């Protein structure tokens, strides 16, 4: 962080807001410079109200719902509400929020508001580079995380419509360098003949996505749900809290400026060539060697490198499970012959039941012309801490939390649930969310049965787990 700033968060105890993460501290440090030194203590008191009423340690996780609750809170003085609104406005116009849905109701003009912030910052901090319009601590992806995304990108079949939709959002952000708001406002009729034509720009699709959209022209992709798609992609490849802005911030780290044309290109080997042992972009290379006055003594080689794999076995298994169909998983299940194989077998039965429910939910939504069918997400089952297995949707897009219990026998047979799963169900129902338990039976037969329960009140709960200790 620059040492030229007139304010340092860590050095001024009067302006510290406790309980926020390092990224929020950096955001706050720059936000304070929007105000004169004499005003910052008052601003800090207002920001502390956010932490008091909204229990979040990260500013980028604040939502329109949080904004609405705070600005309608009658116990907060009007002067503090002004500064609270100013922080939300700052987070919005500099695109620091993970989820901006709802803020369109504020009718804030991004360019106008940004210019006001920049003028104030320039006035209060003469030495700050005013071209730096975002926090210095832009959260981006590690090299390992990007390799996970690239690995998934290359492993998905072009015929896999569901995962190709996930990849499109990543492709549009990272490869096409589209603005997040451009994607969010995109409509299907803006994509034709291999082009994406927005109000201000024109983007050329690669052959892979050109073919994809030509085959799925009847599909209705909810482009406004970009956050949900990217979040789901992150869960599949093993990246926690993946959101569009994080991918966008990573582009800068993966870009190199060509010394010839001064244009910026991604740092992939196929984007670059060497001429006389100097690296140039592919466009300049082709232009130079096509010049008739140039004598080409030998063909330039691509840059030497190594291929390594950052994926763990669990991540490989997660991706393989995501890309597999119900029928494919069922074919690979073998009845255990010894004790060591029992746990593996039970997990396979559980995975198969979850895959069955995922396909059931998607088919139901798709057959009823709901645009949310490809957002059904089974990756929650990979982490027991979630307390449920699948996130689905109603026809109108309200979230449905599903726990799946699977058996090879009668679906009315008893089954096991952990206390955490029960607590999660009760908490979801208590706060008014939709929770369902899907009991899948006869999973290995050709006549799979399914019973859907809306809560757990229809079950007897028998305590059967005992803590065992050696007798004295």
User: In this predicted model, what pLDDT tens digit does every residue of 232-260 receive, in sequence order?
Assistant: 898 888 887 888 888 988 887 778 888 88
Read off the DSSP letter of residue 217: T
- Does 433 reside within a domain? yes
- Does 90 reside within a domain? yes
3-state secondary structure of 453: strand
pLDDT of residue 88: 92
Same domain, 347 and 440: yes
Question: Residue 354: CB partners within 8 Å, gap ≥ 6?
Answer: 378, 381, 389, 390, 404, 406
d(CA 126, CA 130): 9
Range 126-145 average pLDDT: 58
Same domain, 118 and 147: no
Question: Residue 207: CB partners within 8 Å, gap ≥ 6?
Answer: none
- Does 466 reside within a domain? no
Residue 202 has pLDDT above 70, yes or no: yes
Read off the DSSP letter of residue 445: S
- Domain range spanning residue 418? 324-453
Same domain, 173 and 112: no
Q: How confident is the model at residue 7 (pLDDT cuts 50, 70, 90)?
A: very low
> What is the DSSP secondary-structure string of 100-167?
-TTGGGG---HHHHHHHHHHHHHHH-TTS-TT--S-SS-----HHHHHHHHHHHHHS-TT-HHHHHHH
CATH classification at residue 340: 3.40.1350
Residue 313 has pLDDT above 70, yes or no: no
Taking each helix axis from N to C end, the angle separating 143-155 and 226-237, rounded to the nearest 10 degrees, works out to 100
- Does 89 reside within a domain? yes
- Max avg pLDDT among 9-18, 293-302, 449-458: 449-458
Same domain, 100 and 153: no
- Does 108 reside within a domain? yes
- Does 261 reside within a domain? no
Q: How confident is the model at residue 17 (pLDDT cuts 50, 70, 90)?
A: confident
b/e string for 439-460 if b means 16 or more Cβ within 10 A? bbbbbeeeebebeeeeebeeee
d(CA 376, CA 435): 14
Same domain, 158 and 230: yes
Residue 19 has pLDDT above 50, yes or no: yes
Lowest mean pLDDT segment, chosen from 237-246, 337-346, 399-408, 444-453 = 337-346
pLDDT per position as a tens digit, 137-166: 467 888 888 888 988 998 888 888 888 988
Query: What mean pLDDT, rounded, does the chain reach?
Result: 80
CB 437 within 8 A of CB 449: no
Residue 146: which of 232, 244, 247, 231 has the closest Cα?
Answer: 247
Same domain, 328 and 446: yes
pLDDT of residue 374: 80
Same domain, 167 and 219: yes
Lowest mean pLDDT segment, chosen from 59-73, 256-270, 415-429 = 256-270
3-state secondary structure of 452: strand
Instruction: Please provide the size of the chain in residues.
Output: 472
Same domain, 102 and 174: no
Share of the chain above pLDDT 90, in %: 15
Domain end point (choices 252, 272, 295): 252
CB 203 within 8 A of CB 196: yes
Lowest mean pLDDT segment, chosen from 264-278, 342-356, 371-385 = 264-278
Q: How confident is the model at residue 315 (pLDDT cuts 50, 70, 90)?
A: low
Beta-bridge partner residues of 437: 403, 453
3-state secondary structure of 439: strand
3-state secondary structure of 336: coil
Position with higher pLDDT, 26 vs 216: 26
Domain end point (choices 252, 276, 305): 252
- Does 278 reside within a domain? no
Range 449-471 average pLDDT: 77
Same domain, 72 and 24: yes
Same domain, 332 and 442: yes
Share of the chain above pLDDT 70, in %: 80
Residue 291 has pLDDT above 80, yes or no: no
How many domains does the chain divide into? Answer: 3
Same domain, 449 and 341: yes
CB 93 within 8 A of CB 110: yes
b/e string for 51-87 if b means 16 or more Cβ within 10 A? beeeebeebbbbbbebbeebeeeeebeeebbebbbbb
Question: Residue 263: CB partners within 8 Å, gap ≥ 6?
Answer: 257, 281, 283
Q: How confident is the model at residue 1 (pLDDT cuts 50, 70, 90)?
A: very low
Tell me the two tokens of residue 373: 């069918």
Q: How confident is the model at residue 217 (pLDDT cuts 50, 70, 90)?
A: low
> What is the DSSP secondary-structure string of 248-293?
HHHHGGGEEE-TTT--EEE--GGGEEEETTEEEEHHHHHHHHT-TT
Read off the DSSP letter of residue 228: H
Residue 8 has pLDDT above 60, yes or no: no
- Does 285 reside within a domain? no
pLDDT per position as a tens digit, 410-457: 998 888 888 889 999 999 998 889 999 999 999 888 899 999 999 888
Question: Residue 86: CB partners within 8 Å, gap ≥ 6?
Answer: 34, 43
Same domain, 60 and 114: yes
Residue 324 has pLDDT above 70, yes or no: no
How much is the pTM?
A: 0.52
Domain end point (choices 206, 221, 252): 252
Range 87-102 average pLDDT: 88
Range 190-210 average pLDDT: 88
Range 81-103 average pLDDT: 88
């Amino acid at each position: 962080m620059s040492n030229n700033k007139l304010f340092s968060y860590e050095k001024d105890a009067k302006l510290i807001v406790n309980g926020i993460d390092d990224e929020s501290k950096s955001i706050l440090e720059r936000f304070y410079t929007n105000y004169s030194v004499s005003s910052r203590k008052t601003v800090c008191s207002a920001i502390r109200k956010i932490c008091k009423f909204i229990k979040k340690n990260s500013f980028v996780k604040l939502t329109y719902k949080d904004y609405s609750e705070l600005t309608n809170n009658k116990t907060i003085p009007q002067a503090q509400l002004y500064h609270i609104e100013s922080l939300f406005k700052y987070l919005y116009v500099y695109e620091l929020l993970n989820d901006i849905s709802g803020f369109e109701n504020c009718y804030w003009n991004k360019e106008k508001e940004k210019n006001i912030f920049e003028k104030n910052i320039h006035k209060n901090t003469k030495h700050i580079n005013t071209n730096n319009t975002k926090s210095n601590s832009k959260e981006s992806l590690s090299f390992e995380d990007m390799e996970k995304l690239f690995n998934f990108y290359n492993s998905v079949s072009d015929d896999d419509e569901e995962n190709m939709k996930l990849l499109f959002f990543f492709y549009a952000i990272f490869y096409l360098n589209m603005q997040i708001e451009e994607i969010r406002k995109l409509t299907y009729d803006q994509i034709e003949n291999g082009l994406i034509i927005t109000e201000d720009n024109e983007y050329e699709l690669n052959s892979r996505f050109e073919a994809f959209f030509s085959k799925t022209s009847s599909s209705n992709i909810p482009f406004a749900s970009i956050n949900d798609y990217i979040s789901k992609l992150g869960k599949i490849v093993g990246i926690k809290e993946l959101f569009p802005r994080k991918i966008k911030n990573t582009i800068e780290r993966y870009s190199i400026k060509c010394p010839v044309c001064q244009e910026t290109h991604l740092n992939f080997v196929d984007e670059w060539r060497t001429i006389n042992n100097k690296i140039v972009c592919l466009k300049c290379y082709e232009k130079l060697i096509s010049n008739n006055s140039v004598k080409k003594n030998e063909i330039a080689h691509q840059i030497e490198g190594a291929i390594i794999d950052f994926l763990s076995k669990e991540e490989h298994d997660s991706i393989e499970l995501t890309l597999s169909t119900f029928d494919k998983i069922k074919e690979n299940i073998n009845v255990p012959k010894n004790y060591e194989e029992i746990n593996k077998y039970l997990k396979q039965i559980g995975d198969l039941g979850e895959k069955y429910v995922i396909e059931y939910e998607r088919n139901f939504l798709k057959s009823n012309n709901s645009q949310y069918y490809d957002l059904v997400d089974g990756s929650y089952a990979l982490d027991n801490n979630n307390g449920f297995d699948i996130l689905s949707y109603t026809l109108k897009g309200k979230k449905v939390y599903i726990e799946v219990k699977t058996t090879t026998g009668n679906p009315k047979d008893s089954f096991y649930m952990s206390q955490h799963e029960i607590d999660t169900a009760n908490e979801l129902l208590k706060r008014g969310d939709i929770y369902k338990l899907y009991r899948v039976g006869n999973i290995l037969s050709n006549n799979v049965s399914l019973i859907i329960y809306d809560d757990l009140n229809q079950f007897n709960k028998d305590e059967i787990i005992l803590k065992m200790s050696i007798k004295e």
